[in-house]
Amino acid sequence: MNLRKLIWLEFKQHKSQLVSGLLAITLGIAVIVGIRSISVVSEKAVAVNLDNLGANILVLPQASNVDNYYSADIDAPTMPEEYVDKIVTSNLQGVDNLSPKLTRRIKIKNENIVLTGILPKNEIASKPMWQQSGLLGNDIQTSCASTNSANQSLGLKDEKLQRKVIDSLREDECLVGSAIASRLKLSDNNNIEILGEKFKISKVINETGTIDDDRIFIHLRKAQQLLKIPGQVSAIEIMGCCNAISDGLLSKLRNVLPDTRITTIGQIVATQIQTNKMMNKVSLIFLIIIVFVGGISIGNFMWANINERRKEIGMLRMIGFNKATIYKMMLTKAFVLGVLGGLIGYVLGTMAGMWLGPELAGLPVKPVPSLIFVSLIISIGVSIIGSLIPSYLAGRIDPFKNMQEV
Amino acid sequence: MILKTTNLCKNYQHKDGLINALNNINFEVNEGDFITITGASGSGKTTLLLSLAGLIKTSSGQILINDFDIASASDGKLSAFRKNHIGFVMQSFALIPYLTAIENVMLPLAIHKLKNNIQTERALALLELVGLGDRKNHFPKELSAGQQQRVAIARALINQPTLILADEPTGNLDPTLAEDILNLLKSINTEKGITILMVTHSPLAAEYGNQKIHLKDGQIV
């Protein structure tokens, strides 16, 4: 005989009580897990959609503004390229992808085009510090956008080829927007002269419906050389995790780069933040409900159990069980209830999520293993907190409850 | 000498005034004694037994059991003392209904660090001693009142106590069964040398003691 066996035998004796005691906490956990399972997928879907819209933070020179950036005027302000390294070395959380750009409006065959210098991925990959910072694009995270090139479909027919070209753009190659190609009658592998230098068109980019259709992309180094502004960039586009943005990423970036103008593409960020906040609020509301209802339910079960066993507990105290041992027995029981409630709640919640997810959110929902730990922590915590007062009172039961005259 | 009380008093505050449940109790018990405590209802018998076990705090006076001062010890030390030195037999048997006979007997060992096989051996030997070796897997509801009290006696012996405190152990039994239980307690007292203090209101049971204490209005008379 030992305490564990004694607790187990007592559990077996009060199976029906156990079920009713577990009901509230199990259902509460199931609701939280169900909501989270759906919201995780939903947030991920939102993140993917937003990611396809592009970068959400723009770092511009102090004297510049978004109009300057897009118009790419000849005298538009620039800033040092080393600012990219400053961001990287600051190790800010939530900065997912960096893209320094130099843009200038130039003329080719009397056509106004925007020449844009970019860093191809193979050059970024050669920067160990950038890689260590995870700026090459991570696997998509819940409520955090990922990089286009690394993870997401661009919806192009020759997508693999397109990516390959962008990844490995050489200094004598360029990418041409569809509108420019159409106006200048250019196609893949043609040559084009830009500011007196010949470039091979490695790819005509399919129509995107954005300003990119009117751009020619060349290697950033070449752009700096041709435009005679070495070591300078017009902007740094950042793919920032939206949760990090809501947690103050912009002000942290401003601290790192005080003499720059940092803006977000407000509507996009706001949409995701709003969605995420709503999901989190719903989860929080249920968490509060489960803490109260689950805690009271478990406390009520424990209190009823202790009242029913007053003589038994009195006898245990009489034969030498001290108060600490009684507390230990009661809290162990609460712990086991918490584990059972957490596990059963996780299974029920996951099943509900998988069943209701496609109906409610139009998304297939998969089990989220990390929610097992969350479920267990909440369930065990609520169960133990709800049992504290009954356990304390159990320890105070008079040991002489079995004496005939008392 | 195994037990000594000196000027033991226990007062209760009641709405009608102060009640002296125990009034200046002095007695000594030697090792191997079988003490019976008798008296009318409300005379203070159970209060005295509870006080001796450290289950209630006395108002004044001293209780020494094996030189351990019961009256001034902390709750934790009293629990440890009861665990190691005292066995209890109650009128209501106080068996746990969802434990079998052998599990009930082993119950006090749940807080001793004894190996399971040693616990089982000891419990089986005690069940044999009380004549219930063949009922070890029976639940209390499957046993007669006399058999339940025998299980309770085996449980009181499992921690090899120096003192057994029995509170009306035959109160719920018919005369024949009562005699069986009294004979069992007497044999444990004589053969194992365990000191027994038994509260009873039965004159017949009181005759089993080699020393008799009679209480009236909280005083030894």
Give the pLDDT score at B142.
93
| Chain B residues inside the 8 Å CB shell of A5 | 110
B1 vs chain A: nearest CA distance in angstroms?
Answer: 23
Whether A290 has a pLDDT exceeding 70, the answer reads: yes
Q: Which of B111, B124, B165 has the most A C-beta neighbours within 10 Å, making it the best mutation to test the interface with A?
A: B111
A405 vs chain B: nearest CA distance in angstroms?
Answer: 7
| Chain B residues inside the 8 Å CB shell of A325 | 111
The average pLDDT across A299-316 equals 86
Q: Does A74 touch chain B (CB under 8 A)?
A: no
Q: Which of B47, B82, B116 sits opposite A319 (nearest CB)?
A: B82
> How many residue pairs bridge chain A and chain B with CB atoms within 8 Å of each other?
93
Those of residues 69-108 in B touching chain A at CB distance below 8 A are: 75-76, 79-80, 82-84, 86, 88, 90-92, 94, 96-99, 103, 106-108
| Chain A residues inside the 8 Å CB shell of B83 | 319-321
Q: Which domains does chain B show, CATH number per domain?
A: 34-46+72-220 (3.40.50.300)
A326: closest chain B residue by CA:
B111
CB contact under 8 A, A405 and B107: no
Q: Which of the residue ranges A78-87, A278-287, B162-171, B209-218 would you say has the lowest mean pLDDT?
A: A278-287
pLDDT 10s digits, A109-142: 888 888 989 888 655 544 444 444 444 444 444 4
Task: Name residues whose C-beta falls within 8 Å of residue B146's C-beta, 6 or more positions apart in sequence.
Answer: B173, B177, B180, B181
Q: Please tell me whether residue A232 adopts helix, strand or coil conformation.
A: strand
Q: Find tokens 């006696």 and name the residue.
A: B153
Give the pLDDT score at A160.
43
Q: Which of B88, B98, B116 sits opposite A319 (nearest CB)?
A: B88
Measure the CA–CA gap between A22 and A374, rounded to whole angstroms.
17
DSSP string for residues in chain B: --EEEEEEEEEEEETTEEEEEEEEEEEEE-TT-EEEEEE-TTSSHHHHHHHHTTSS--SEEEEEETTEETTT--HHHHHHHHHHHEEEEETT----TTS-HHHHHHGGGGGS---HHHHHHHHHHHHHHTT-GGGTT--GGGS-HHHHHHHHHHHHHTT--SEEEEESTTTTS-HHHHHHHHHHHHHHHHHH--EEEEE-S-HHHHTT-SEEEEEETTEE-
B57 vs chain A: nearest CA distance in angstroms?
Answer: 12
Give the pLDDT score at A344.
93
A339 vs chain B: nearest CA distance in angstroms?
Answer: 24
Q: Which of A7, A313, A397, A403 has the most B C-beta neighbours within 10 Å, making it the best mutation to test the interface with B?
A: A403
A240 vs chain B: nearest CA distance in angstroms?
Answer: 58
Report the percent of chain B where pLDDT is more than 90: 24
Cβ count near A75 (within 10 Å): 7
pLDDT category, A287, cuts 50, 70, 90?
confident
Q: Which of the residue ranges A77-86, A288-297, B18-27, B190-199 would you say has the lowest mean pLDDT?
A: A288-297
| Chain A residues inside the 8 Å CB shell of B76 | 322-324
CB contact under 8 A, B92 and A323: no
CB contact under 8 A, A322 and B75: yes
pLDDT 10s digits, A162-217: 444 556 788 899 988 888 899 888 888 889 999 889 999 988 888 877 777 888 98
Q: Does B182 touch chain A (CB under 8 A)?
A: no
CB contact under 8 A, A322 and B76: yes
| Chain B residues inside the 8 Å CB shell of A315 | 90, 94, 96
Give the pLDDT score at A396.
83
The average pLDDT across B23-52 equals 89
CB contact under 8 A, A5 and B56: no
Whether B129 has a pLDDT exceeding 60, the answer reads: yes
Q: Does A404 touch chain B (CB under 8 A)?
A: yes
CB contact under 8 A, A319 and B109: no
CB contact under 8 A, B82 and A318: yes
Alpha helices (H) in A113-248, listed in sequence order:
121-124, 128-132, 148-151, 159-167, 178-184, 220-227, 242-246
CB contact under 8 A, B103 and A1: yes
| Chain A residues inside the 8 Å CB shell of B84 | 320
CA angle B26–B29–B31, rounded 5-degree value: 165
CB contact under 8 A, B110 and A1: yes
Domain spans, chain A: 3-44+276-395, 54-264
Report the percent of chain A where pLDDT is more than 70: 77
The average pLDDT across B194-200 equals 91
Q: Does B141 touch chain A (CB under 8 A)?
A: no
Query: Residue A280 has what DSSP assignment?
Result: H
Q: Which of A305, A318, A323 has the most B C-beta neighbours within 10 Å, making it the best mutation to test the interface with B?
A: A318
CB contact under 8 A, B75 and A323: yes
Mean pLDDT of chain B: 88
| Chain B residues inside the 8 Å CB shell of A321 | 79, 83, 110-111
The CA-to-CA distance between both ends of chain A, in Å, stands at 29
Give the pLDDT score at A345.
92
